[in-house]
Amino acid sequence: MSNLLCLILLFSSFIISAQNLTTIYEQSNGKQTPTYFQAIDWWKKTDAASPIVKMQAMGTTDAGHPLHLILVSQDNDFDINSIKAKRKNIILINNGIHPGEPDGIDASMLLVKDIIQKKYTLPINVVLAIIPVYNIGGTLNRSSNYRVDQNGPEEFGFRGNSQNLDLNRDFIKADSKDAIAFTQIFHYLDPDVFVDNHVSNGADYQHVMTLLTSQHNKLGGAMGEFLNKEFEPALYPLMKNKGFDLVPYVNHFSETPDAGWPEFWDSPRYSSGYATLWNTFAFVPETHMLKPYKQRVASTQALMESLIEIVSKNNAKITVLRDQTKKQQVSQTSFPIAWKWDRAKSTEINFKGFEVGKKNSEISGLPRLIYDRNKPFEKKVPFYNTYIDTLSVEKPIAYIISQGWWKVIDRLKMNKVQMRQIIDDTTIEVEAYRIENYQASSRPFEGHRPNSNVRVSKTLKKITFHRGDYYIPVNQKANRFLIETLEPQAEDSYFAWNFFDAILGQKEGFSDYVFEETATEFLKNNPEIKNKLEQRRASDSAFAKNRAAQLDFVYKNSPYYESAHLQYPVYRVVK
């Protein structure tokens, strides 16, 4: 074939493909969102039509379908190491984690179509990485009835995935294959910026989009400062120019938002909180459910474009800040693991709301809240966006965990934690935590009954570890992830998510009538325990009258009591 013919054929195939790239959303004049298969077919066609778009499958999901990742790179370079070497920034965009909120699925298709048709310029120093549909199981479960209050599209998917899990609570516990595949994508890319596209419900107001940003005090350091003072503030005027007046995610505590609200607390179970553990700037745009679908999709596209523009402009700064933070965290000695909202500090934001009123409910006859859309208002309200840390831990030299706790080890491996297995049985003096207090959730939550209000005591102990147990040095990129998942008092630790609940139940016990004899003999030979028992009897009258409690006291103070009970099995090497 002649070169000319080749060129003509190539050129005409581009034209044909470009014509075929009209999306379901466009065909339906903004009323419909594609099914899962329609969306994937569109991306396959787009990949074939444009050399700057590459689609790949990464891992599988609970739905039995692979998770897809799309890269959009202006110089056709899809090699992540090479992209990093060129100091380009990667923006990872996640869509359809809640499939009833498909705005990002459509907005991402429109954005990439605009890029390849040269209606929008993707800067050379930014690479887009897009998960076209994350919650595939939920997307396949389509209806027009879910999200009863929402204004379009005509049909959409369901919040729960194939295991009925909310994937936006699954980033640490990783109960779904979906989360495992996401983790693989996240570490493959090490994105500079992460965007998770959503739709919010709750109060009514004029804003089409609200924006949840990684909590800046929790992100901490120079990155937290940059996020709060420069990055996030730059988004607001850009979005305003594009016709969308942003306001921080409306997280109000009173009946209506006009008294202000605290910044949303995005612990690591959430997408943006997970990203924080890896020093990635994260944004969760939330379009408002009552706004027409077309407006919502347009605002989602505008937000992604605004982010692209800010990232491109701050490319060098973002790259350097992340590099420095990662380096600094390798040698950082103290890490905060708990924070609380500071009620004394607020900033003022411009809130465009609707006046509220009351009328009687036709169902109950009782007063109900109404937002009056004919009475818009604009006023300054307080936004409480300062959190202070309330508990810090000194990092150990290493953690040691026995191989039996493989579910946790698997999750560390999936997060690219560097560890090595002990070669020979070894006795090491380590810091050991005992669980002194915790509260298990009385109701199931996402397949768990999370533990909270965890309190520990610590002692130095000689523990024998076995060949194959894992030694995890805390001198690595994963330091923050390790601290916030392995310290049992951290809010989203593996202890909190019930991975270590087996230590909370006593496995062995005694028969009263037999142990009475053993205990008598034991007290004779251990006068210090006898003393302890007598002191307790003298100070606690209920205890003094309770034979079983006293026998149990002797048991728990004797070597017969099992060491595993309440003994947290991740040990800290501190010297």
- Which residues would be at the binding site for Zn ion (CB under 5 A)? 98, 101, 198
Say which amino acid occupies 237: P
Query: CB–CB of 319/468 below 8 Å?
Result: no
Shortest reach from residue 159's CB to Zn ion, in Å: 8
Shortest reach from residue 60's CB to Zn ion, in Å: 23
For residue 91, what are the β-bridge partners? 128, 193
| Distance, CA of 181 to CA of 188 (rounded, Å) | 11
Shortest reach from residue 166's CB to Zn ion, in Å: 9
Residue nearer to Zn ion on the CB measure, 215 or 386: 215
Residue nearer to Zn ion on the CB measure, 113 or 198: 198
For residue 553, what is the enclosing H or E element?
helix 547-556
Q: Phi/psi zone of residue 3: left (φ > 0), alpha (ψ -120 to 50 degrees), beta?
A: alpha
Residue nearer to Zn ion on the CB measure, 60 or 201: 201
Nearest to 401 by CA among 499, 316, 546: 499
Q: What is the CA 5 to chain-centroid distance, rounded?
A: 52
Shortest reach from residue 101's CB to Zn ion, in Å: 5
For residue 372, what are the β-bridge partners? 355
Q: Phi/psi zone of residue 207: left (φ > 0), alpha (ψ -120 to 50 degrees), beta?
A: beta
Contacting residues for 521 by C-beta, under 8 A, at least 6 apart? none
Query: CB–CB of 494/485 below 8 Å?
Result: yes
| Distance, CA of 553 to CA of 534 (rounded, Å) | 11
Sign of CA dihedral 38, 43, 49, 55: negative
Residue nearer to Zn ion on the CB measure, 134 or 278: 134
Residue nearer to Zn ion on the CB measure, 198 or 291: 198
Residue nearer to Zn ion on the CB measure, 164 or 498: 164
Residue nearer to Zn ion on the CB measure, 65 or 198: 198
Could you write out the DSSP letters of every residue in 391-436?
A: EEEEPPSEEEE-TT-HHHHHHHHHTT---EE-SS-EEEEEEEEEEE
Shortest reach from residue 96's CB to Zn ion, in Å: 10
Residue nearer to Zn ion on the CB measure, 68 or 198: 198
Q: Specify the pairing of strand 367-384 against strand 261-262.
A: parallel
Residue nearer to Zn ion on the CB measure, 94 or 280: 94
| Distance, CA of 211 to CA of 302 (rounded, Å) | 13
Shortest reach from residue 164's CB to Zn ion, in Å: 16
For residue 537, what are the β-bridge partners? none
Structure tokens at 129: 């990485």
Query: CB–CB of 250/261 below 8 Å?
Result: yes
Residue nearer to Zn ion on the CB measure, 101 or 175: 101
Say which DSSP state 141 is in: S
Shortest reach from residue 545's CB to Zn ion, in Å: 55
For residue 452, what are the β-bridge partners? 439
Contacting residues for 431 by C-beta, under 8 A, at least 6 apart? 396, 458, 459, 460, 461, 571, 572, 573, 574
Shortest reach from residue 183's CB to Zn ion, in Å: 20
Shortest reach from residue 196's CB to Zn ion, in Å: 8
Shortest reach from residue 211's CB to Zn ion, in Å: 13
Residue nearer to Zn ion on the CB measure, 132 or 396: 132
Shortest reach from residue 156's CB to Zn ion, in Å: 12
